Amino acid sequence: MTDYLDGNVLAGPLREVFGVDLTTAGTRCVGCGQAAHVAELRVFTDAPGIVARCSGCDNVIMRLVRTPDAAWLDLRGTTALRVPLG
Ligand SMILES: [Zn+2]
Protein backbone atom coordinates (compact mmCIF):
# COMPACT_ATOMS: atom_id res chain seq x y z
CA MET A 1 0.00 0.00 0.00
CA THR A 2 1.37 3.40 -0.91
CA ASP A 3 -1.59 5.45 0.20
CA TYR A 4 0.65 7.62 2.35
CA LEU A 5 2.64 10.78 1.69
CA ASP A 6 6.08 11.64 3.01
CA GLY A 7 6.51 13.91 5.99
CA ASN A 8 7.16 16.98 3.87
CA VAL A 9 3.39 17.36 3.66
CA LEU A 10 3.57 18.31 7.36
CA ALA A 11 5.70 21.40 6.63
CA GLY A 12 2.77 23.78 6.28
CA PRO A 13 0.58 22.54 9.15
CA LEU A 14 3.51 22.38 11.61
CA ARG A 15 4.83 25.76 10.52
CA GLU A 16 1.41 27.21 11.27
CA VAL A 17 1.72 25.96 14.87
CA PHE A 18 5.43 26.46 15.58
CA GLY A 19 6.46 29.13 13.10
CA VAL A 20 9.47 27.12 11.92
CA ASP A 21 10.10 24.29 9.48
CA LEU A 22 9.93 21.07 11.48
CA THR A 23 10.45 18.65 8.59
CA THR A 24 14.14 18.40 9.57
CA ALA A 25 13.30 17.79 13.23
CA GLY A 26 14.26 14.39 14.59
CA THR A 27 11.89 11.84 16.09
CA ARG A 28 12.53 8.54 17.85
CA CYS A 29 9.79 5.96 17.67
CA VAL A 30 8.39 4.78 21.01
CA GLY A 31 7.47 1.48 19.36
CA CYS A 32 10.75 0.35 17.77
CA GLY A 33 13.30 3.05 18.60
CA GLN A 34 13.91 4.03 14.99
CA ALA A 35 15.19 7.56 14.55
CA ALA A 36 13.77 9.55 11.65
CA HIS A 37 13.29 13.07 10.50
CA VAL A 38 9.73 14.31 10.31
CA ALA A 39 10.12 14.43 6.52
CA GLU A 40 10.73 10.66 6.51
CA LEU A 41 7.53 9.72 8.33
CA ARG A 42 4.65 8.13 6.48
CA VAL A 43 1.78 10.59 6.53
CA PHE A 44 -1.87 9.77 6.12
CA THR A 45 -4.04 12.78 5.47
CA ASP A 46 -7.35 10.96 5.12
CA ALA A 47 -7.44 9.96 8.80
CA PRO A 48 -9.20 12.13 11.37
CA GLY A 49 -6.65 14.93 11.14
CA ILE A 50 -3.14 14.14 9.88
CA VAL A 51 -1.42 11.00 11.13
CA ALA A 52 2.35 10.42 10.76
CA ARG A 53 3.58 6.86 11.20
CA CYS A 54 6.98 5.22 11.68
CA SER A 55 8.32 3.61 8.50
CA GLY A 56 9.85 0.85 10.62
CA CYS A 57 6.92 -0.44 12.67
CA ASP A 58 3.91 1.64 11.59
CA ASN A 59 3.53 3.12 15.09
CA VAL A 60 1.77 6.50 15.15
CA ILE A 61 4.51 9.08 15.79
CA MET A 62 2.34 12.18 15.69
CA ARG A 63 -1.20 13.21 15.04
CA LEU A 64 -2.34 16.73 14.17
CA VAL A 65 -5.95 17.78 14.27
CA ARG A 66 -6.95 21.27 13.21
CA THR A 67 -10.18 22.78 14.52
CA PRO A 68 -11.46 26.21 13.51
CA ASP A 69 -9.73 27.88 16.46
CA ALA A 70 -6.97 25.49 17.57
CA ALA A 71 -4.47 22.82 16.60
CA TRP A 72 -4.18 19.61 18.63
CA LEU A 73 -0.81 17.92 18.36
CA ASP A 74 -0.39 14.42 19.80
CA LEU A 75 3.31 13.50 20.05
CA ARG A 76 3.07 10.44 22.27
CA GLY A 77 4.59 8.20 19.60
CA THR A 78 8.02 9.84 19.77
CA THR A 79 10.30 9.85 22.80
CA ALA A 80 11.35 13.39 21.90
CA LEU A 81 11.24 15.91 19.09
CA ARG A 82 14.72 17.20 18.32
CA VAL A 83 14.44 20.60 16.70
CA PRO A 84 17.64 21.83 15.05
CA LEU A 85 18.39 25.48 15.83
CA GLY A 86 20.71 27.72 13.85
ZN1 LIG B 1 8.75 2.38 14.91
pLDDT tens-digit readout, 50-78: 999 999 999 999 999 999 999 999 999 99
Report the greatest alpha carbon distance in the chain: 37
Which residues lie at CB < 5 A from ion ligand 1? 29, 31-32, 34, 54, 56-57, 59
CA of 59 to the centre of ligand 1 (A): 5
- Positive or negative, the CA dihedral 26, 78, 23, 53 is positive
Contact of 10 with 64, CB cutoff 8 Å: yes
Give the pLDDT band of residue 48 (cuts 50, 70, 90).
Answer: confident
CA of 69 to the centre of ligand 1 (A): 32
Question: Taking the model in full, what pTM does it have?
Answer: 0.91
- Positive or negative, the CA dihedral 43, 61, 78, 15 is positive
Give the pLDDT band of residue 2 (cuts 50, 70, 90).
Answer: low
Q: Which pLDDT does position 34 carry in this prediction? A: 98
Is the pLDDT reported for residue 1 higher than 60? no
